[in-house]
Amino acid sequence: MLIFPKQYLWILIFMNGCRWQLAADLVNFGGWLKNMNTKGQGKNNVNIVTLGCAKNIVDSEILLTQLKGNNEDVRHESQKDDANIVVINTCGFIDSAKQESIDTILRYVDAKQNGLIEKLYVTGCLSQRYKEDLRKEIPDVDAWFGTNELPQLLNRFNVDYKHELVGEWQITTPRHYAYLKISEGCDRPCAFCAIPLMRGRHVSKPMDALITVASNLARSGVKELLLLAQDTTYYGIDLYGKRSLAELLRKLSDVEGLEWIRLHYAFPTGFPLEVLDVISEKDNICIYLDIPLQHASTRMLKIMRRGTTRKKTETLLHTIRDRVPDIALRTTLITGHPGETEEDFEQMMDFVLKSRFDRLGVFTYSHEENTHAFSLEDNVSEDLKQKRADDVMELQQRISFEINTSKVGRVMKVLTDRVEAGNLNGRREFDSPEVDNEVIIENNQNLNNDAKPGEFIQVKITDANEFDLFGKILSR
Ligand code: SF4
């Protein structure tokens, strides 16, 4: 039975009072240890472990591409136990994400102490944010890297960054869809957010380079491209002096082979309405929009420094739905931000009820040092934050059930993702991978057995629940 080393307890305490519970997670680590064997000499065998959001997956894919491009034997999230070098790409967004990152680092520190791996490198947001403290507290990690230190990380493998690989991309997602990060960092002043502390100012990636990557991905079989950034609607302001997301979308929609282009992380304030014209004009741009709103009470939107009001938000949602009928809207809200009153929360509930989002996620506020909100009193209790989040999700489940039920009987275009429990799981253009609904196609027809992941098929929706749709294949 693995006994958790006492010296690591202090890490938990020093992490600025974040409330962590750890022991249980490590108990099952013992089993993992048994089947690891000691590493021999010779060529490196690298395993990249990614935590956090899809933007981190893109960073890991760039590292994977560079290491492979330098003839390193490297895998992503390998389940095999033969790596001698492990690189952990961490997340440092909020408490729960930081906990998962520390848990993962400590697991591999134990593997190193047991001689099961030789080198352990840590990169990503948690490392960017707490590097100096972590270096002192967890000396078993061989090196810590920030979010903009890929060349330094590569130097540890005695290889250099290869610019000629910029257009190449080793994806870690299923071959038919891929993430494309169109910019890094953020210039927004949101009070609660630590991301600019970890990712820096907004930097758009050149449009030509993005088109080159998209073309290479499409040639390699990618049919669905998901556009990511901290704020996709800010794209181009730094590089071209104007909002250029609409222009980028137009150019991407001309890339042969891309059947679905999906837009994530739009920001409501200053939303470039011309983007809606491109979405409604171009058949291969999904009528789908992820637009995190965070709150609905005008008083709270002011405290959160979101630069908008409830009225302006509702006007924007009406305009989006007017100009792109049937568009699926995803949003994210935060409960328990400093200053949130019961009346503010009732406004959020009323807004959710009236806005009827297709998808909605809720975070409880996390008191993050060095953010503007950290100077405010964290005056909503953890229990109340969680209760409010549960109330919002309970309401949203009812709305999702009604929306999903209204799809029964319809025939819809589905992109198949994987086979699970004998069924084929896929998505419509209204569903983003990993975060949204799926269409579960029962395995009861001959046609079914032939359909493979990565195919577009026509499906008749036969049933629904609050999370998923169910259907039968009509044609392929
Ligand atoms: S837009 Fe606001 S919430 Fe989003 S990354 Fe930027 S500062 Fe954070």
pLDDT in tens, the chain (476 residues): 444 444 444 444 444 444 444 444 444 444 444 444 444 556 789 999 999 999 999 999 999 999 999 999 999 998 777 899 999 999 998 889 999 999 999 999 999 999 999 999 999 999 999 999 999 999 999 999 999 999 999 999 999 888 877 777 789 999 999 999 999 999 999 999 999 999 999 999 999 999 999 999 999 999 999 999 999 999 999 999 999 999 999 999 999 999 999 999 999 999 999 999 999 999 999 999 999 999 999 999 999 999 999 999 999 999 999 999 999 999 999 999 999 999 999 999 999 999 999 999 999 999 999 999 999 999 999 999 999 999 999 999 999 999 999 999 999 999 999 998 888 999 999 999 999 999 999 765 555 556 789 999 999 999 999 999 999 998 76
Residue at a domain's end among 116, 147, 164: 164
Do 150 and 178 sit in the same domain of this protein? no
Q: 291: CA distance to ligand 1 center in Å?
A: 11
State which of 231, 300, 301 you would mutate to test the pocket of ligand 1, scoring each by most atoms of that ligand within 8 A of its C-beta: 231
Buried b vs exposed e over 151-165: b needs ≥16 C-beta within 10 Å? eebbeebebebeeee
Do 380 and 450 sit in the same domain of this protein? no
- Per the listing, tokens 């309970």 go with 394
Q: 266: CA distance to ligand 1 center in Å?
A: 10
Q: 233: CA distance to ligand 1 center in Å?
A: 12
Beta bridge partners of 441: 424, 471
Buried b vs exposed e over 22-61: b needs ≥16 C-beta within 10 Å? eeebbeeeeeeeeeeeebeeeebbbbbbbbbbbbbbbbbb
Do 33 and 78 sit in the same domain of this protein? yes
Q: 306: CA distance to ligand 1 center in Å?
A: 9
User: Closest ligand 1 atom, CA of 306?
Assistant: 2
- Per the listing, tokens 């800010």 go with 234
Do 206 and 329 sit in the same domain of this protein? yes
Q: How many folded domains does the chain comprise?
A: 3
User: Closest ligand 1 atom, CA of 189?
Assistant: 7
Do 354 and 234 sit in the same domain of this protein? yes
Q: What is the pLDDT of residue 34?
A: 44
Residue at a domain's end among 381, 405, 429: 405
Do 195 and 323 sit in the same domain of this protein? yes
The pair of structure tokens assigned to 205 is: 């990636």
Q: Which residues line ligand 1 at a C-beta cut-off of 6 Å?
A: 186, 188, 190, 193, 195-196, 230-231, 267
Which of 245, 404, 264 has the alpha carbon at shortest distance from 331? 264
CATH number at residue 197: 3.80.30.20
Residue 5: CB partners within 8 Å, gap ≥ 6? Answer: 110
Contact in structure between 412 and 369 (CB atoms under 8 Å) = no
User: Closest ligand 1 atom, CA of 188?
Assistant: 7
Nearest CA to ligand 1 atom 5: 230
Do 207 and 343 sit in the same domain of this protein? yes
- Per the listing, tokens 């799926």 go with 438
Q: 209: CA distance to ligand 1 center in Å?
A: 24
Nearest CA to ligand 1 atom 4: 230
Q: 196: CA distance to ligand 1 center in Å?
A: 7
Q: What is the pLDDT of residue 26?
A: 44
Do 180 and 73 sit in the same domain of this protein? no
CATH number at residue 454: 2.40.50.140
Beta bridge partners of 144: 122
User: Closest ligand 1 atom, CA of 194?
Assistant: 8
Q: What is the pLDDT of residue 44?
A: 87
Do 118 and 266 sit in the same domain of this protein? no
The pair of structure tokens assigned to 366 is: 């996390």
Q: 121: CA distance to ligand 1 center in Å?
A: 27
Contact in structure between 470 and 448 (CB atoms under 8 Å) = no
Secondary structure string (H, E, C) spanning 1-65? CCCCCHHHHHHHHHCCCCCCCCHHHHHCHHHHHHCCCCCCCCCCEEEEEECCCHHHHHHHHHHHH
Do 442 and 334 sit in the same domain of this protein? no
Residue at a domain's end among 164, 179, 196: 164
Q: 405: CA distance to ligand 1 center in Å?
A: 34
Residue 85 structural domain: 4-164
Whole-number Å distance between alpha carbons of 464 and 450: 24
Nearest CA to ligand 1 atom 2: 190
What's the burial of 139, exposed, middle or buried (CB within 10 Å: 0-12/13-18/19+)? exposed
Q: 230: CA distance to ligand 1 center in Å?
A: 6
State which of 188, 202, 301 you would mutate to test the pocket of ligand 1, scoring each by most atoms of that ligand within 8 A of its C-beta: 188
Do 208 and 325 sit in the same domain of this protein? yes
Q: 92: CA distance to ligand 1 center in Å?
A: 14
Q: 17: CA distance to ligand 1 center in Å?
A: 23
Dihedral of CA atoms 440, 444, 450, 454 in degrees, nearest 10, equals: 0
Q: 195: CA distance to ligand 1 center in Å?
A: 7
Q: Are strands 183-184 and 177-181 parallel, antiparallel or unpaired?
A: unpaired
Do 173 and 268 sit in the same domain of this protein? yes
State which of 193, 264, 331 you would mutate to test the pocket of ligand 1, scoring each by most atoms of that ligand within 8 A of its C-beta: 193
State which of 230, 264, 290, 366 you would mutate to test the pocket of ligand 1, scoring each by most atoms of that ligand within 8 A of its C-beta: 230
User: Closest ligand 1 atom, CA of 294?
Assistant: 3
